Chains A and B, each alone.
Chain A
């Protein structure tokens, strides 16, 4: 049932895009779609795991250990550490420790934040980065 609904919605979406819409209007439509997707993943984070399951099924896109959320989390942590003026040498030390301890790639962001910052600050950054991963 779910699959039929999805196929129907996808087919209608595909058909809608076949309409002879002027280029400028089409650009606005695409930007609106971006907004909808951004809101969708913000309110329904399960979309991201569905996407990852699809990637595995079709062997395309990011898969296990490469998920978008962990990439964004690491990036957000690094941005914050840089803006706080934390010397990169400290991050290097944390990264070396993570490698030596066999930490999974998905957990690098959290590991670095916890190794470099006070627990309360690390918690705050990780909470904020969680918001940023919503697309």
Chain B
């Protein structure tokens, strides 16, 4: 395993771009992983900030990979449909975002194992609404990476305006450049999640209820991710 390389889940958004720029100062090689599935459109926008990052550092500093996470996303979301509905009720049917993020994590671990990378970062921060950015989930995710000998950290967790920090970083470069988010859109996954949680789940069960249900669901689905990683299919 190589500690001179780091792997980042990269969308070209303000958080992951800032993180990639910061990690480029710490690591010799930065692997940027972008995921695609049928909900994601305008994927070409990712390359804008990959280009700017390369301009800021060097061409060979970054390796950008596009990975398809649809199969695992589907498996986590619909693979045990009846069992999940029985166990989690409507929570399971409205958890697309979380399934997608878990699929990304499982793919990231497989990628790291293939490349011998033992450092992973992502742009999760407290301003996020989805499961993967809640403090109770992050601890479980950290432990999950640890099972595979990978150190995971989310260094922007407490940051609030990464767009401004990213802008400053670009403007202070030589030569200065404009740095702002340029990312694909996820059309729909977040909407299901947001409408359901905001209109129903949170008003009914509150933050504590969500925390409890998230943890149960995560434990359950991480088990499926373990099987997927163990299967070791070629990415």
Asked if A10 and B163 make an inter-chain contact with CB atoms under 8 angstroms apart, the answer reads no
Among A6, A10, A11, A31, the residue within 8 A (CB) of B188 is A31
| Cβ A61 vs Cβ B129 within 8 A | yes
**Size band of the B side of the interface?**
35 or more
Select which of B85, B171, B195 is within 8 A of A88 by beta carbon. Answer: B171
A-B contact count (CB 8 A): 131
Across the interface, B171 reaches (CB within 8 A) one of A14, A24, A92, namely A92
Q: Residues of A within 8 Å of B, CB-based: how many?
A: 48
- CB neighbours (8 Å) of A7 from chain B are 199-200, 203-204
A113 in the interface (beta carbon within 8 A): no
Least CB separation from B179: chain A residue: A78
Q: Which of chain B's residues has its CB closest to A4's CB?
A: B203
User: Could you tell me if A18 and B188 are in contact, using CB atoms closer than 8 angstroms?
Assistant: no
Contact of B195 among A10, A74, A105 (CB under 8 A): A10
Least Cβ–Cβ distance between A94 and chain B, in angstroms = 10
Bound CA–CA A29/B93 (angstroms): 13
**Chain B 182-217 residues near chain A, CB threshold 8 A:** 185, 187-189, 191-192, 194-196, 198-204, 206-207, 210
Known: A9-B199, A14-B94, A95-B167. 13 other contacts (CB 8 A): A6-B203, A10-B201, A13-B199, A17-B94, A18-B90, A27-B188, A55-B129, A58-B207, A60-B207, A61-B128, A75-B163, A75-B180, A78-B180
Give residues in B with beta carbon < 8 Å to A. 14, 38-39, 74, 78, 81, 85, 89-91, 93-94, 96, 127-129, 134, 160-161, 163-164, 167-168, 170-172, 175-178, 180-181, 185, 187-189, 191-192, 194-196, 198-204, 206-207, 210
* A–B pairs, 24, beta carbons within 8 Å: A10-B198, A11-B90, A13-B195, A13-B200, A14-B91, A14-B196, A14-B200, A17-B90, A18-B90, A24-B38, A30-B187, A31-B188, A33-B192, A37-B195, A54-B198, A58-B202, A58-B206, A58-B210, A61-B127, A61-B128, A62-B127, A62-B129, A75-B180, A92-B176
